[in-house]
A and B are shown apart, each in its own frame.
Chain A
Amino acid sequence: MAAEHASIDALGQFKLHTVLGPIGASVNFTQSNLLMVIASALILALMYFGARPRAVVPGRLQAAAELAYDFIYRMVSDQIGHEGRKFFPFVFTLFFFVLFGNLLGLLPFSFTYTSHIAVTAALAITVIVLVTIVALAIHGLHFFSYFWPSGAPIALAPIIVPVEIISYLSRPVSLSIRLFANMVAGHVMFEVFATFMVMMAGAGAVGYVGAVGPLAMNVIMMGFELLVAALQAYVFAVLTCIYLHDAVHLH
């Protein structure tokens, strides 16, 4: 497609369009949402079929499901503490929703819903709203002492308080942009190198040899993107846990 225009269209892959024919069009159901449904179905399938054998010595799938459960459970208990157990399902959902979104996006003809700032921002705002509600519910108005580090001289209040408030409000921004930017960057690079490859191949026999370069680059990129996909999901979940820890314990 890009080769036909003889230019690099790195951003066309992020364009949304409705799926499932007229039904999808009538409710604005996009390929992004279809991937969300597939990711959710895969997560549920992993946990369902993983837990079904109920074996004392787990098979491979059961071990995967238990590992997934244990990984997030340990993360939540380590980061938040004992009170964190009740946030476990939320962090689990968040981590695997992001992880499967990132990984499914790496499949050909697929779509990465985490490459949309609207999606990552919605998730980040959900996190920050939850964190604020939890903090207010546990500590009441005492929550606002969070913006005042204990022991700071009162004269510095006009500087410290706005800084603290801004840093608090910048959390969802950094949380959403980090994930969004990582995903977009990776997929743009894929598209760019793939287009180079097609353009070179179009240049004849010499081009075929030259196209090996971008191809090798994309193979390496794929390995790197797998790392990024897992790491960004982990970062998103860990930061959520850290924010929840702050909300539960205040400082």
Chain B
Amino acid sequence: MARRAFAVVAGGMVAGAALLIQATPARAGEGMPQLDFANPLTLAQVVWLGIIFFALYLLLSRWALPRVAAVLESRAAAIAADLDAARGAKEKADTAVDELTRATREAHANAQAEIAQAVAIAKQTADAQAAEMNARLDAQIAAAEGRIAQARAAALGALSQVATDTAREVVDRLVGGGIDNATVSRAVADVLAARAA
């Protein structure tokens, strides 16, 4: 679009120039010097143009442009090398981070295992202590029960003695002797056994 707009403007300018040239009171025999091919200079400049343009082309293509290209290439190479170095450093950093992460995870796992082991040992110890304590308490309970049973037996023995003595006394008072000890004690034992049952 810009080009078309420009073409319109340029066309207008050319038209305007043509009008001006027509309106110019040109002196006789003078048109555009550019179209004056009778003048040897008009074509001579083209010969020089050929020489100068060719020389410029050779100098640019063989000498000047390769120099600029070399500068651009060296910059591109420097940038590429820097990028490579940066990429290498990043890779190294990444592996280091990976290692660190793995080491952290390992240490964490180790710590967990040790904690679990310590807990297990402590539990075992506690269990053992509890068992020992239970055993000791059981033994003490058993001993105490034994003592109680003994005391009870002793008490019961004393009771039968007292009962036998009391029974003989009572029998003696009632019937006035003549009854032997064995009979009394057997009768008391029978009665006690019947009570206990």
Contact = CB atoms under 8 A, between A and B. Distances in A.
Interface of A: 7-12, 14-18, 28-30, 32-33, 36-37, 40, 43-44, 47-48, 50-51, 54, 56, 62, 65-66, 69-70, 88-90, 92-93, 97, 113, 115-119, 122-123, 126, 178, 180-182, 184-186, 188-189, 192, 228, 231, 235
Nearest to B40: A28
B32 to A, nearest CB: 6
B46 A51 contact: no
Given A10-B21, A11-B32, A37-B52, A56 B75 contact: yes
Given A11-B33, A18-B41, A90-B57, A54 B17 contact: no
Chain A CB within 10 A, most for which of B32, B37, B49, B70: B49
Given A97-B53, A231-B6, A44 B59 contact: yes
A79 to B, nearest CB: 15
A189 B17 contact: yes
Contact of B71 (A54, A181, A189, A231): A54
23 contacts: A8-B20, A11-B21, A11-B31, A14-B33, A28-B41, A28-B45, A30-B45, A32-B48, A33-B52, A40-B52, A47-B60, A66-B72, A69-B68, A70-B72, A93-B60, A113-B49, A115-B34, A116-B42, A118-B42, A119-B46, A122-B50, A182-B10, A188-B20
A56 B68 contact: no
Contacts of B78: 56
A89 B57 contact: yes
Interface in B27-64: 30-35, 37, 39-50, 52-53, 55-57, 59-61, 64
A48 B67 contact: yes
B112 to A, nearest CB: 54
Contacts of B61: 89-90, 93
B193 interface: no
Nearest to A25: B41
Contacts of A66: 68, 71-72
A51 to B, nearest CB: 4
Chain A CB within 10 A, most for which of B40, B44, B50, B69: B44
A33 B49 CA distance: 7
